[in-house]
Each structure stands twice: as structure tokens, then as C-alpha cells.
């Protein structure tokens, strides 16, 4: 039985590697052709001409997105019964772990390590951090699936250029996604609130907490998608729900590629889903501004904050 489990696990890991490589290769191919056609003088001109007020609005929306991320950890802490951990510690763990892990491209490895460095000073064990990582990941996926399902259900043709499926199939897929979320919500309302053995029990959120997770995930992704949307020139005539659906698909494909900050996969998906071969420069300009605001700036700030915290703790330990 152990051999079968190990073999199946190796097969799944191998399949995951193949999928990641396939996404990366496809993204590189799309980006190469898109960037080859683009006039970078026009791209720089669009960036220079972008209204500073829109950039400030996008930055505010990015801040709202990252603020909502801090509640991922807070709700996870409350779910496992650690009501003694204050919000500021949860916010510190969240804001340092997400940007750094996504920026490096090893979320499943880096994020729990950073969380452990923060939470271990407040009495949390490694298993507590694993439980928190599971619960925050659950919030991420519930929010993604709910927002993607709602946006595709509203505008089924929004991701035609990404999945190459007819509109009716996209609508059916959206219904299935939302039905899955509803089923999990109903199950969480009736479940015992934990899975695993008595010794290694993983706590699950209650029904009301799942509703909060879904709402929180939608706010997080909605704010990030709106930050991208306001940077796209209005004369490109891109609908809001189309932009949200394509943005979430780009996030998921970037996550599946395991590239740092979804580099390549995210950008290629945006260009395919929202681009116009005759006018790619404005979209590339919006992507570059968004990348700076949503990925590079938080990554640098998170690194500086985590380094300052570690340095302060090291100094206190010596004294």
C-alpha cells in the first residue's frame, strides 16, 4: 500500500511538473510574439501619459487587496482557537509571507516558513502554521472560484480566447464552480469542524466563517482586478466582468506555472484574454504599471519589513 501511495504521489508530482512546463512554454511563446509586434516607444509614451490620478486609484485598490489579505491569517487564527494572537501579528505574518513567497515563486514552501518565523515567537507550533496555511489557502481558492464563477456566469464569453470553449460550456462550467462552492458551504455548516486523526486534527472553518472567507476572497481579488482595470485605457472598451474573469484566470495560471509572481503566464493570459493585436501597447503599459504596484512594490516592502523584524529580534537576543 505504501508503494502504491508513493507511486501515485510521484505520478501526480510528475503531472504537475509537466503542466507547469506546458503553461510556461505556452506563455513564453505568446509573450514572444506579442512583444515582437509591440512598439516600446509607444508603450513608454502610454505610461508617461497615464493619468496620475488613475495610478493613485490603482495603488489604493492594491492597498485594499493587501489589507484584505491580512484577514486571511486573522480568521485562520480564530478558527484554530488562537484568539490571543493580535491582529497586528497576523497582519505582519500575512504581509511578509504572501509577497515574498509569490515573488520567489515557491509559495507552498516559503510562505509557511515565514509564517513560522513570525508565529513561533507567539507560541504556535509547526502544525499550527500548517493548519493556518491550509485555511488561508482555502480562503484563496474559495474566493477565486466564487469570483471566477460569478464573472463567467455574468459574461460567459469573457474567457473564450483562453479556454477555447463555446459560451454555453463556459456558462455550464461557471454553474459547476458555484455549485461546488455552495456544496462545500453546506457541508461546512453540517460538519464536525475538523478532519484527520485525534492527534493530527486539522480544524476547518464553520459555515459562517466559510461565508466570511468567500466574501473576503472576493474583496481581495475584486480589488486587485479593479486595480488592473482602471489602468487599462477606457477606449479599449473592455467590460468589467470580462476583465475580472480574465484577471482571475491569469492569477490561477500564474499560480500553476510556479514562476515568480506568475511571470509570463499571468501576462500572456491578460494579453490573450483582453488584448487587441492592433493595439497591444496600451495593455502592455497597463500590465507594467500594475506589475510595479501589485508585485514589485509589495515584494520590496515585505522583504524590508521581514528583514527589519528579524534584525530587531536578533539584536534583542544578543542584548
Structural contact between residues 119 and 274, judged by C-beta atoms closer than 8 angstroms: no
Q: Would 117 be classed as within a structural domain?
A: yes
Q: Would 134 be classed as within a structural domain?
A: yes
Residue 3 has pLDDT above 50, yes or no: no
Strands (E), 187-317: 194-196, 201-203
Residue with the larger pLDDT of the pair 15 and 47: 47
Q: Would 22 be classed as within a structural domain?
A: no
> Residues, the chain, total?
319
pLDDT class for 1, splitting at 50, 70, 90? very low
pLDDT class for 144, splitting at 50, 70, 90? confident
Gyration radius of the chain over CA positions:
21
| Domain carrying residue 291 | 39-318
What is the three-class DSSP state of 117? helix
Q: What is the rounded CA–CA span in Å between residue 272 and residue 250?
A: 10
Q: What is the rounded CA–CA span in Å between residue 18 and residue 250?
A: 18
Q: Would 64 be classed as within a structural domain?
A: yes
Residue with the larger pLDDT of the pair 205 and 243: 243
pLDDT class for 72, splitting at 50, 70, 90? very high
Q: Would 20 be classed as within a structural domain?
A: no
N-to-C CA span, the chain: 53
Q: What is the mean pLDDT of residues 139-151?
A: 88
Q: Would 125 be classed as within a structural domain?
A: yes
Residue pLDDT, tens place only, 261-289: 777 888 888 888 887 666 788 888 999 99
Residue with the larger pLDDT of the pair 81 and 164: 81
Mean model confidence pLDDT for the chain: 84
The predicted structure's pLDDT at residue 199: 64
Q: Would 7 be classed as within a structural domain?
A: no
The answer, as to whether pTM is greater than 0.75, is: yes
Domain count of the chain?
1
Residue 24 has pLDDT above 90, yes or no: no
Q: Is 172 exposed, middle or buried (0-12, 13-18, 19+ CB in 10 A)?
A: middle
Structural contact between residues 200 and 128, judged by C-beta atoms closer than 8 angstroms: no
Q: Would 183 be classed as within a structural domain?
A: yes
The predicted structure's pLDDT at residue 15: 58
For CA atoms 141, 143, 148, 154, give the dihedral sign. positive
Q: Is 60 exposed, middle or buried (0-12, 13-18, 19+ CB in 10 A)?
A: middle
Structural contact between residues 145 and 245, judged by C-beta atoms closer than 8 angstroms: no
Amino acid at each position: 500500500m505504501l508503494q502504491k501511495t508513493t507511486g501515485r504521489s510521484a505520478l501526480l508530482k510528475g503531472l504537475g511538473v509537466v503542466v507547469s512546463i506546458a503553461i510556461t512554454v505556452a506563455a513564453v511563446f505568446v509573450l514572444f510574439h506579442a512583444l515582437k509586434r509591440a512598439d516600446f516607444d509607444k508603450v513608454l509614451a502610454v505610461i508617461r501619459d497615464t493619468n496620475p490620478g488613475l495610478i493613485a486609484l490603482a495603488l489604493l485598490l492594491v492597498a485594499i487587496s493587501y489589507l484584505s489579505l491580512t484577514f486571511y491569517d486573522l480568521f485562520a487564527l480564530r478558527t484554530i482557537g488562537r484568539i490571543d494572537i493580535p491582529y497586528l501579528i497576523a497582519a505582519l505574518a500575512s504581509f511578509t509571507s504572501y509577497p515574498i513567497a509569490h515573488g520567489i515563486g515557491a509559495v507552498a514552501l516559503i510562505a509557511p516558513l515565514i509564517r513560522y518565523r513570525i508565529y513561533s515567537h507567539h507560541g504556535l507550533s509547526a502544525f499550527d502554521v500548517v493548519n493556518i496555511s491550509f485555511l488561508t489557502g482555502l480562503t484563496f481558492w474559495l474566493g477565486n472560484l466564487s469570483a471566477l464563477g460569478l464573472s463567467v456566469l455574468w459574461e460567459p464569453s469573457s474567457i473564450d480566447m483562453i479556454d477555447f470553449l463555446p459560451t454555453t460550456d463556459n456558462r455550464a462550467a461557471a454553474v459547476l464552480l458555484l455549485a461546488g462552492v455552495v456544496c462545500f458551504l453546506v457541508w461546512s455548516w453540517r460538519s464536525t469542524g475538523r478532519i484527520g486523526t485525534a492527534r493530527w486534527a486539522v480544524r476547518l472553518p464553520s459555515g459562517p466563517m466559510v461565508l466570511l472567507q468567500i466574501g473576503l476572497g472576493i474583496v481581495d481579488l475584486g480589488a486587485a482586478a479593479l486595480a488592473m482595470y482602471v489602468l487599462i485605457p477606457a477606449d479599449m472598451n473592455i467590460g468589467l466582468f470580462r476583465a475580472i474573469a480574465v484577471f482571475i484566470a491569469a492569477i490561477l495560471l500564474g499560480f500553476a506555472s510556479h514562476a515568480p509572481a506568475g511571470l509570463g503566464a499571468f501576462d500572456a493570459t491578460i494579453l490573450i484574454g483582453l488584448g487587441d493585436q492592433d493595439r497591444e501597447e496600451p495593455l502592455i503599459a497597463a500590465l507594467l504599471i500594475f506589475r510595479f504596484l501589485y508585485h514589485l512594490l509589495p515584494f520590496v516592502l515585505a522583504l524590508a519589513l521581514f528583514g527589519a523584524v528579524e534584525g530587531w529580534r536578533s539584536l534583542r537576543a544578543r542584548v
